[in-house]
Amino acid sequence: MLKINLFFFFLTVCFIFLAPFAKPRITTVEVKEGTLHNAETLDQQIKITFSRPMDEKSVAQNVEVSPKFEYSTSWANNTFFMTPKLPLVSGEHYLLTVHKNVQDIYQRELAQDEKITFQTKNYQFVYLNRDNQLTVSGFAQSPQVITDKKNIKEYQVNRKKHSIVYFDQPTDEGETNIFSYDLLTQQTTQIPNQLHARLSNLQIDGTGEQLYFIADIPLDHPDQDVNGDPTTTQAKVFHYDLITHQQSESDLLQTFPTLVRFWITPEGNTFMVNDLSGELFLRAISGGKSVALGKYSDYRDGDFRGDKLIFIDSSQEYNYVQGIILYDGSTTRMTDVSEIAATPFLSLDGTLISYSFVPKNSAETAGQEGVKVINIANKKTLFEKYDSQYSFELSKLSADNKYLAVEEYNKDQLNDFVHIRKYGEPNKPDQAKIIFFDVQSWRPLPMSIEGKEFRWIN
């Protein structure tokens, strides 16, 4: 026994004595979301773990990535974290170089430069095809119908859980079913729903684990709604936990008894509520005080940090001309009072706004809209397209601002739709063509797809 203890004592002394002379090495390189061969572009973080404690300044100065992107750094024990400040470019090959000059706490360097490659996912998107079926596709992927349902009422991309959640409602007055499609396993799961009610206003929180929605619960006896009109249902806000599969009523209606609609802002932690008076409010999902932002027609979008939000405004102050308001702690009108703007989309990095506009001679058209992209910093128009034979609507920039997707309607489809149309409302044609533009050159891509309600997945 004594010999064994002496042996381990000898090994420990050798380890302590030799430790300063052994060269450090990289043990693992990982990404937070996805894999090195198929990394997500959003909410990403690169993790480099060393075999021993390192000189943090030395590592920060001797790590290089190409193509370059801005990132913040942090440490946990022997692991160095690189967190991109903006979404990474889709379909990009990145080369990460850790130069041999990096030093551990004993000033020992790596044996050689270490080079690691990782690749982000190719562009992927989802839309409703001409048969009203959810379809996943991409620039390097053939269209794949992911549901045989043809009664899709609403859907949301759940980026955190790599899935698409959607409402299926066979009849207008019937019960709504909830489904989730897993983009990784390509499996569809029906989410249990005990409400037996019509659902709407589907939202997902920042964890990707909580669904929120409005349920129209049937009443035993007719009653009056908030307007005093007769009703046979009562609207309630529910949330469903995708992990525990528990469903419960939210406290939103306690805070906002005249709630009409609500959203969750892109960073995933804040409710945006529109009440009966037209007022918009912000309130943390966890609860607390609400903040009134003003009377705006519609909340439209926000950047991925939740620092910038955009609304539609048609107030008397601007002669009731519908325009775009940017909120970043204060409010700024982004469009001219002489221009009618519709369905704006804010880029995830908060630098660009794409939107549809109604030309000044709109009375002579069949409701066509053009499309514009402006720079938020100086309100400069970067792209503008109008064609009297078409209407360009519901434009959306990819997460890396490389591409612009636009719904295109033929003039012949618009004869019965002569007013501005809003996303999610039925006052627009059933069919559209989705076209794409290269943001760098603003040239159209040599591809288009038949569909509508387009959204980028990554």
Please check the confidence at residue 420 and state whether its pLDDT lies above 50.
Answer: no
pLDDT value at 334 more than 60:
yes
**Domain tally, the chain:** 2
In three-state form (DSSP H/G/I as H, E/B as E, the rest C), the secondary structure along 79-112 is EEEEEECCCCCCCCEEEEEECCCCEECCCCECCC
CA separation for the pair 316, 313 (Å, rounded): 9
pLDDT of residue 103: 93
Mean pLDDT in residue range 438-446: 95
- Indicate the pairing of strand 71-76 with strand 93-98: unpaired
Mean pLDDT lowest for which of 46-50, 194-198, 262-266?
194-198
67 prior amide bond cis, ω within 30: yes
Residue 276 lies in a domain: no
Furthest CA-CA distance within the chain = 101
The pTM score is: 0.85
The whole-number pLDDT of residue 426 equals 45
pLDDT band at 16 (very low <50, low <70, confident <90, very high): low
pLDDT band at residue 431 using 50, 70 and 90 as cut-offs: confident
pLDDT greater than 60 at residue 312: yes
Looking at 86, 119, 152, which one is the last position of a domain?
Answer: 119
Whether 288 is covered by a domain: the verdict is no
Confirm if 260 and 279 have CB atoms less than 8 A apart.
no
- Can you give the pLDDT at residue 78? 94
- Give the rounded percent of residues in the chain with a pLDDT score beyond 70: 86
* Whole-number pLDDT of residue 203: 95
Q: Which range in 57-61, 194-198, 300-304, 319-323 is most confidently predicted, on average pLDDT?
A: 57-61
| Boundary-marking domain end, from 69, 85, 119 | 119
For the segment 62-66, the average pLDDT, to the nearest whole number, is 95
Q: Please indicate, yes or no, if residue 365 is contained in any of the structural domains.
A: yes
- pLDDT tens digits, residue range 142-164? 999 998 877 888 999 998 889 99
Q: What average pLDDT score do residues 79-98 get?
A: 94
Radius of gyration of the chain (CA): 26
Per the structure, the complete domain to which residue 111 belongs is given by 24-119
What rounded mean pLDDT belongs to the chain? Answer: 85
CATH number for 415: 2.120.10.30
Closest CA to 409 of 394, 424, 425, 426: 394
CATH number of the domain at 41, please: 2.60.40.3710
Looking at the domain assignment, is residue 249 inside a domain? Answer: no
Q: Give the Cα separation of 179 and 165 in Å (integer).
A: 6
Averaged pLDDT, 59-66: 94
**Residue 100 above 70 pLDDT?**
yes
Q: What is the mean pLDDT of residues 361-388?
A: 83
Residue 226 forms part of a structural domain: no
What does DSSP say about strands 177-182 and 188-191: parallel, antiparallel, or unpaired?
antiparallel
Asked if the structure places residue 254 within a domain, the reply is no
> How would you classify residue 451: left for phi > 0, otherwise alpha for psi between -120 and 50, otherwise beta?
left
pLDDT over 60 at 291, yes or no: yes
Q: Domain boundary at 69, 90, 119, which?
A: 119
Q: Is residue 16 part of a domain?
A: no
| pLDDT at residue 305, rounded to an integer | 84
Is position 176 within any domain?
no
The tokens for 332 are 């700024």
Residue-level pLDDT at 9? 56
Predicted pLDDT of residue 319: 62
